[in-house]
Each structure stands twice: as C-alpha cells, then as structure tokens.
Structure 1
Amino acid sequence: MPTMLVVDDDEGIRRFLSAMLTKQGFGVLTADNGFDAVEIFRAERPAVILMDIRMPGMSGLKAMSAIHNLDRSTAVILMTAYAEVETAVQAIKDGAFDYIIKPFDIAEVLLLVKRAFELRRMREDISVLHRELSESFRLDRILTNSPKMIELCQTITKVAKSTATVLVCGESGTGKELVATAIHYNSARADKPFVKVNCAAIPDSLLESEFFGHEKGAFTGALARRRGRFEQACGGTLFLDEIGDISPSLQVKLLRVLQEREFERVGGGDVVRADVRVIVATNKNLEELVRQGTFRQDLYFRLNVVTIKTIALRERPEDVRLLAGYFLQKFAAENCIEITGFDEAAMDCLLRHDWPGNIRELRNAVERAVVMSTGREIGPEDLPEQILHSAGEFEGLPRPPFDGAVRSLRDLVHRYEAQVITESLARNDGNRVKTAHDLQISRRSLLYKIQEHGIG
C-alpha cells in the first residue's frame, strides 16, 4: 500500500483528508506541525506529502526544505490560501510538486496525489533500468580470452573514473560504441543520460541544431524551441560517433563548448551551461585529417585527452571461437532452431578468416549460418561465400564435380563434401574412425554426414 503524509494544524482537515485518502487505498500518516512532519518523514519515508503552508512553529515551506535535504525525490503538494498563491508558485520553483488552493476540490486532490505517486514509480523504474544497464556493462562480463582485450578493459576502468574527454578510435565493427557505453555505465554519471549522435548520419546543415538545439523561429520549420543533444545529456555523457565527418564551421563551435562548457541555441542569445562528459569515436585517422587541413588541430588536441584504441578481431583470434559460440546460442534461441554447435570444418573456416568487418561481420556470418542451416551442426556450406574463399578450405583437394549446369554455391559445396567423404572412406576401406580422423571431424559428425548424403 503506497504511504503518504498529511500535515495540517487543522484537525478537521487532517481527519477529512485521512479518511478520503484511506478510502482510495492509500496508507496515511498525519502530523499537526512542521517539526513532527520532519520527524515522521525521517522514520517512515512516505513517498508523497500533502502539507499546509501556514502552520505555527515551522511553516510548510521550512518543513519541505528540511524533508528535501533528507530525500530530494519526495513529492510535496502544498495547501495554501488564495492570498499565498505567489508563495506557492515560488515553492514549486524551489522543488514542490504542486499546490492546491483552500477550500480545495476533492477530485483535484486525488488527481495530484495519483500523479505524484505515478511520477515516483516512474523514477523508481528508471533507477532500476539504470542499475540493470550498469550491471550489463560491467567490464568483468565482457566475453574474451584475449590478453589485449583484458588490458583494454583495465584501461576503460581507469578512464571511467575520470571526467576526461575520450577519443575512441579503431576499425569499423570493433565495438567503439560499446567502449563508450562501458565508460559511461562504469562512471559516476551512470544514473544520468547517455546520449548518442552519429555525425555521419545527419545532414551537415542540421548538425548544429542537433547538437545545440534551436529557438522557435530560428529557421523555416522551427515551430518551437528544441533542446539539443548537449542539453539532453545534461549531467551525463554525450557520445559523438564518426566525429571526423563534421564540418570546419561546426568544429569551431564544438571546440568552444569543450573549452567554455557553454553554448547558445541556434537563433538564441541565452547562454546554456553544458555539464556533459564528451566521448567521441572515429574510424578515420584524425592526425592525417589535421595534416590535410580538414580537421582543426586545436580541436584534435582538445578531444585527444585520453585515447582508447579498439582491437581488431584478427588481432584477438582466441576470441573467434568464444564469440561465435555466443552468437550461435543467441540466434538459435531467437529463431527457435536447435543447433548444437559448429563442426570442425566450419570452425576451421572461421578461424582462418581475416575478419575485415570485425565482430559485426562475425555476428552477421553466424546469424546467416543459423538461418541457413539444415542440420544440428553448422557446416562450411552454411557459411557466407567470402569466408569459404578466404579460409582456403579446399585448396589442394580435388575440384568438385561440375556438369556445366548453373548451380548455387550451397549445392556445389554439398556435392563436393559428399565426394570428399566417399573418396576418404574408400582410401580407408570403409573404416569410419580412420576416415573421421583424416577429415579432422568427430565420428558423430561423419556418421551424420554419411546419412545426410546417402553414402553407402
């Protein structure tokens, strides 16, 4: 039962409100002065307080201030006479949830109380989500067997504790956004907003408004004031991806924000403070862009306070098997497909591939293999064509039979696999244990493939 506190020096009002709110399903505590209200709040912590402004000893405004010193999230609804409305309005600016004028309307009281409890629940839900996100991005949960990745995680932990601007660089698909997200959710700003902007995906003419917001009438189509990403990220972290794609004019304005921690909305003159940690990412060489004159050197130095370089998948081959297994379980579950794993030949293809698209390419390849698979194990024929070619799986072996007909890659691989198994069985006089050993697959996989291909 949600609990609230009613505070008024008029006993009749206390009893009336208590009876009405109890009938609506609320637990109600009461106090007849500000001092008792603060003590009851200290002991019981009710989520909502309905309190008169004018009381002897300690006024409702002073009691609200004392209560907010204990818990700023508590919703205080003030009751006031008509002559005190200006005071009540100022109280809202100081943190009151709302006010009602005596004599009050019962429906209005109930509406405000229910809204206050709904806001409290929303804040609690948001707090739970922030905790879950922080838990999700714990660095000890990152899947890796690579010493380089372990060192990178240790670096992220150190950087997260600071307030420094961070430049994340590395190849496409290596997890630059993941690094930025991990920094935020392992920092002191974890319960504040994490706002992301892909600078390459927004037209250059709109980026300034996207960053800093605009005032009503600032340009055609600006029908109302709009908060930019710097304002949306207030108190939290702003992640600017593909920072190398912003124009020189916007680079100047971004430099000012990073230096002065303030900006103006487009079409406005009011200065807005920017309490934001900035993390930027790029797959371009910013030093080369500086030499070419397309990226400001002073902005580069301002962004390059701390640099984190992500690690390409080809530099951490020990993680291919681990990540492939994780993605297989994920996509098999999502598609309700029963797959036990990769056979040795398919895994060998994955391990030999150079992964120019990094983790994103591996993820897509495994998802495709799961969707295209016909057996309980992923075989080479289920993998994308470019992985089979780069792996060189069939180099030095007989070419698959080809009768001139146009056939799919899957069909050719299927026929070739049957041919290789048949020839290996013949060389080993039908001994399946020796054949499995020669083909470097398990005996169980061989038996399945013999059945699949109808080999006698």
Structure 2
Amino acid sequence: MSTPLPVTIFVVEDNIWYGELLEYKLAQNPDYLIRRFTTAQACFEHLGEKPDIITLDYTLPDGKGEQVLRQLKERLPEASVIVISAQEDVRTAVGLLREGAYDYLVKDEETADRLWNTVNNICKQLRLRRENERLREQIGQRYDPRRAILGESPQMQQLFTLIDKAARTNITVSLSGETGTGKELVAKAIHFQSERSAGPFVAVNVAAIPRELLESELFGHEKGAFTGAVARRIGRFEEAHRGTLFLDEIAELDLSLQAKLLRVLQEREITRLGSNARIAFDARLMVATHRDLAREVREGRFREDLYYRLLGLPIQMPPLRERGRDVLVLANAFLRDFCAQNHMAGCALSAGAEQKLLRYPFPGNVRELKAVVELAAVLAEGDEIQAHDLSLRDAPTSSPAGPPAETGPESLRAQTTAIVQRYLDAHNGNILQVAAKLQIGKSTIYRMVQNNEVSIR
C-alpha cells in the first residue's frame, strides 16, 4: 500500500539476522523508509528524524520493553510503536498496550507477515490523518481573510483588523451590512482563524426556513414530536458543538422564537421538541442581518434583551460603492477564477470597462459584481471585456463620487431580478447551476419563478 508521503520506520532489534528479516519484509513497499538499530540508545539518538512507526524488540541489551516504550511515548507520542517479543505472556502484552503500544507481536514464523499487515493498517490511519491535516490547512488558507476577502481600501484594512481581534476570542460577533457584502465569508474567516477551526461551521439562513419548521431546525426534535417526525433529528445547535453556529438574517426570527433563543443562550442548553431532557452545547455564535437591528428594537420587532445578548463585537460590512478601486481588484479576481473553472482563455478588462465598473453604484454589492463580471466573460468577443459586455442597469455616466439618488429596496430588487434572469438565460434555465453561481438558495429562485419575477425561457 502506498501513502501520499514516505513513511519512516525504525526497526529496533538486537538480533542482526532477525532485524534484517523484518527490514527485508517491510522494504517490499517502496514508500517505506527503513532505519535499523540494535540498541535503544541508538534509536533515541535518531528520534529527531521523527519516525512514524517503531518496531521494538522487547528485550534489548540496554533496556527492557516497558522502560524503552515509556521513553519513546514521552519523547515522540505521535509515533506508533509495535512491540515484538519471544514471550507469550498475556499480562505482559496487556501492560504494554496500556503503556501506549499500538500492537504486541509474538516472534514465530509468521511474525513478518503479521507485522506487514499491522504496518499497513497504521499507514491507512496515517494517510487519513495527513489528509485531514492537509484539508484543514487548505481551509485555513482559503478563509485567511487576506486571501479569501480581497480589498486594499482603508475600510477593508479596518475589517481585517476586526477579524483578527474576533478570531482571538470566543466573543459573539454580529455582522451587519447590505445584501451581498460578504457577511458569511467574514464569519467563516473568523471561525477558521480561531481555536475552534477544527470544529464544524454550521450556517443557518433564518429567512429561508418556514417559521413553523425553524424551531425544529435549530433545536432538533424527537421521534413523534409532531406529525411527520418519523425519527429523531439533531438540531443545528447540537451540530455546531465545539464549533461555530452562524445565524444569517437574524432579524427575520419570529418574536416567540426570539424568547426561546434568548433562554438557550443564557442557559447554554437546548431542549429538543418532544423532549424534556436538557442538552448542553458548546458553540460560538455569530449572527448577521442586512437590517438595522437597533431600529427593529425601537419599532418592537426585535427583543431588546436578545439584541444586547447578540451584539457582542459588531462588524459593519462596507458597501462596495464606498470601497473605491477595490471594485477592480475583485473584478479581476472573479475573472481569473471564472476563466480557470470553465477552461476559458484569460479575459482582461478594457479601460472603458474599468471606468464603467467604477461609475456603477452596485446596489447588489460584491455578489452583483461577481455575476456581472462572469456574464461579461461569457458575452465577450476575444480576450478583452468591453464596456458594452457589462450588463449594468441604468448605470450613471457621472464620476464615481457616490451612489445615485435612487438606491432603495425597489431598485435593489430590480437589480437582483435582472441578474438572476441573465444567469437563467446564460445557463439554459438550470436553477441549480444558477443558485451555485450566485451563491443563493435554489428556493429563492423557485420562488421568483413562481411569482413570475423571472422566467425559464
């Protein structure tokens, strides 16, 4: 069996002939790097090479098995130690296993084969561990805020500082800002830079779940708790144990559920529907909304006590129109990624296209920019995107000094509808592809089709 990286094995055996036999057997796998030693001291002197596996003769001239094993596990706890002995004493074997030995093999004519199988089993586990470490490293890099969240403006530098501060503690984080500014991306960046990065990141869009199902979604339910509850279901709070729970669009939470959420946060316990048992959880909470929560409190739509419980470290996401030339930094990054993913020749923005992007207020923010640029890459003739390839609605011709007068909800809704329609047309009405490209829920697009806001042509 081969592994992604070479596996270093120390064979510690004072019987030279027997040590050569074990080395010969293991050397049949070219991915195994084998070093052979005849004394414990020689082995200790080379532990800096960080062997993955050590085969240890129980009786060595300079140390008994238990003593040598204990020192090996103290100095190199991650190494797997296989003890090989001529003794068949069960108590000795049990004692060595308790001391941390991976396995205990008795010397006979089949020892080499059994050792081969044991080493292969260790390597399977080692391969999985290395793969998990590689994936964790990739995820950490992906959500390194200075890699995943692009921008050079002063607003973004301030945002990076807040992300760093949030990642160093477990304080609740409340993200606010317009739709499409990247609130969930920031939440992920904080999670994967924090000490909880090995735990799960569980995201829930409160607005996307029907009110009558949301309580079960968050807290879970027992079998028979209500009609249709045919089995126990673990809620999102339990799923996020030892990780982070991200509640997006928290302002849409029903007032009755706000009271239950407040109690859960105070007690740090949840109760599944249909049960009286209290279940403790350990999850960091982050919330996000595009609404002004303070105004929601003043107008009686959001509980004041819950508001202060959730406020924690507030982070205001800057709208794209206030970030200056970050528009071009993001547009070029989106172009590179889109062309690479679709095996297209690289595209560049013409000077006219750049000016058109800089003049446009982007009511849909970064999400809209991504959609516009990707569509332009599809529509462009040749390897340069011209201004006419950018499908912007009612783009102003004045300088990019500020947003146009009309940037209210109706204008934003019209822009969102137009983008979704363009993507449906470009992807032949494939709703799943469009949802993935725009990073929105497919139920949102289905609802827009149902309401005749967009159509599948």
TM-score of the superposition, structure 2-length normalised?
0.65
Kindly report which structure 2 residues correspond to 1:22-421, keeping only aligned pairs within 5 A, or say none. Answer: 22-25=27-30, 26-28=32-34, 39=44, 42-50=47-55, 60=66, 67-76=72-81, 83=90, 87=94, 91=98, 109-141=115-147, 142-190=149-197, 192-200=198-206, 201-202=208-209, 220-222=229-231, 233-246=240-253, 251=258, 254-255=261-262, 258-261=265-268, 274-291=281-298, 295-335=302-342, 336-337=344-345, 339-344=347-352, 346-384=353-391, 387-391=392-396
Per the alignment, do residues 99 and 268 of structure 1 end up closer, same or farther by CA in structure 2, a change over 3 Å counting? farther
Question: Aligned partners of 1:59 and 1:202: how far apart in 2?
Answer: 60
Aligned counterpart, 2:7: 2
Per the alignment, do residues 36 and 358 of structure 1 end up closer, same or farther by CA in structure 2, a change over 3 Å counting? same
Secondary structure at the counterpart of residue 151 of structure 2: coil
CA drift at 1:363: 0.8
My pick for the range that moved more, 284-293 or 359-368, is 284-293
Aligned counterpart, 1:20: 25
Identity of aligned residues (%): 38
Number of aligned positions between the proteins: 384
Task: Answer yes or no: is the 8 Å Cα contact 1:248–1:295 preserved in 2.
Answer: yes
CA drift at 1:127: 2.3
Question: Aligned partners of 1:53 and 1:216: how far apart in 2?
Answer: 54
Question: Aligned partners of 2:117 and 2:222: how far apart in 1?
Answer: 33
1:187-208 Cα shifts (integer Å, max 9, x gaps): 3444x13513223345566656
Task: Answer yes or no: is the 8 Å Cα contact 1:237–1:279 preserved in 2.
Answer: yes
CA drift at 1:168: 1.2
Secondary structure at the counterpart of residue 394 of structure 2: helix
The amino acid across from 1:281 in the alignment is: A
Secondary structure at the counterpart of residue 391 of structure 1: coil
CA drift at 1:148: 1.7
Question: Aligned partners of 1:362 and 1:318: how far apart in 2?
Answer: 13
Task: Answer yes or no: is the 8 Å Cα contact 1:172–1:357 preserved in 2.
Answer: yes
Question: Aligned partners of 1:89 and 1:205: how far apart in 2?
Answer: 56
CA drift at 1:357: 0.7
Aligned counterpart, 2:454: none
CA drift at 1:44: 3.5
1:160-210 Cα shifts (integer Å, max 9, x gaps): 2222121111111101122112223333444x1351322334556665665
The amino acid across from 2:204 in the alignment is: N
The amino acid across from 1:341 in the alignment is: L
Per the alignment, do residues 46 and 291 of structure 1 end up closer, same or farther by CA in structure 2, a change over 3 Å counting? same
Question: Aligned partners of 1:221 and 1:116: how far apart in 2?
Answer: 40
Question: Aligned partners of 1:206 and 1:53: how far apart in 2?
Answer: 61
My pick for the range that moved more, 298-307 or 234-243, is 234-243
The amino acid across from 2:176 in the alignment is: C
Task: Answer yes or no: is the 8 Å Cα contact 1:193–1:232 preserved in 2.
Answer: no
Per the alignment, do residues 150 and 23 of structure 1 end up closer, same or farther by CA in structure 2, a change over 3 Å counting? closer
Aligned counterpart, 2:414: none
CA drift at 1:237: 3.5
1:279-313 Cα shifts (integer Å, max 9, x gaps): 22222333344456554444332221111110111
Question: Aligned partners of 1:153 and 1:348: how far apart in 2?
Answer: 27
TM-score of the superposition, structure 1-length normalised?
0.65
Task: Answer yes or no: is the 8 Å Cα contact 1:243–1:280 preserved in 2.
Answer: yes
Aligned counterpart, 2:453: none
Per the alignment, do residues 23 and 350 of structure 1 end up closer, same or farther by CA in structure 2, a change over 3 Å counting? closer
State the superposition RMSD in angstroms. 4.7
CA drift at 1:156: 1.8
Secondary structure at the counterpart of residue 389 of structure 1: coil
The amino acid across from 2:389 in the alignment is: D
Task: Answer yes or no: is the 8 Å Cα contact 2:332–2:348 preserved in 1.
Answer: no
Task: Answer yes or no: is the 8 Å Cα contact 2:188–2:201 preserved in 1.
Answer: no
Per the alignment, do residues 5 and 376 of structure 1 end up closer, same or farther by CA in structure 2, a change over 3 Å counting? closer
Task: Answer yes or no: is the 8 Å Cα contact 2:140–2:192 preserved in 1.
Answer: yes
The amino acid across from 2:51 in the alignment is: P
Give ranges in structure 1 of 5+ residues lacking alignment.
394-456
Question: Aligned partners of 2:120 and 2:315: how far apart in 1?
Answer: 48
Question: Aligned partners of 2:283 and 2:45: how far apart in 1?
Answer: 38
The structure with more radius of gyration = 1
Secondary structure at the counterpart of residue 395 of structure 2: helix
CA drift at 1:86: 11
CA drift at 1:355: 1.2
CA drift at 1:145: 3.7
The amino acid across from 1:123 in the alignment is: R
